Structure 1
């Protein structure tokens, strides 16, 4: 089951509304199967879909980081706000597992999280996963430490 994603998880990874993901499924742009009345997307199909949208995702990520640096985007709560860009030079399968681990933290009830935000994409040319995480320093630090432990540096 770990190789199947829900519409909601893929929507969070791509920072899209779940309805948008369902529209891609309905329009046959994203293969999916119904399991128990809910759409499930195979990891390989999600990676292919993400790859085809890579330039759009990169552009949005750059705009979001620039907005944060310019002080214009404050979707994060608290007096202290952090935006961290993490590059992992790993194979695509491991990069996707790292994104799932980050999403796990994003979905856990955690008082240090506040309003946090996360973007991920994999660049096949550079063989690199790029993760952009916004949140409180305590939460972003916790997520980065978890990734470091998982990758085993």
Structure 2
């Protein structure tokens, strides 16, 4: 059985946390007290809102965190890779964040990619193509 905290219910319904707590205390929204916090069952939230239980759940969200490590990359190649990757991201919202960390002495590059699955996969394909050249 999936349960929500008062804060999660407030976020889902766009209400203030105190409003949700008042609903619970007044008995309008059934909840179970665990320690000092209330837990609201998904079914009870659905009955309270009049929506199906499935609609009360948050949509799934998946995100990628990837670190690409490239050794033996000179300064000139670093500039080419970073310019091409950042250029592929510019001009449109894509939900991907990319950071470059370069150790010039060891010619060692780490690229940190954070974002949605498909968008991150596209960035990784671009990096793969640039490194193969």
TM-score (norm 1): 0.43
Larger Rg: 2
TM-score norm. by structure 2 comes to: 0.49
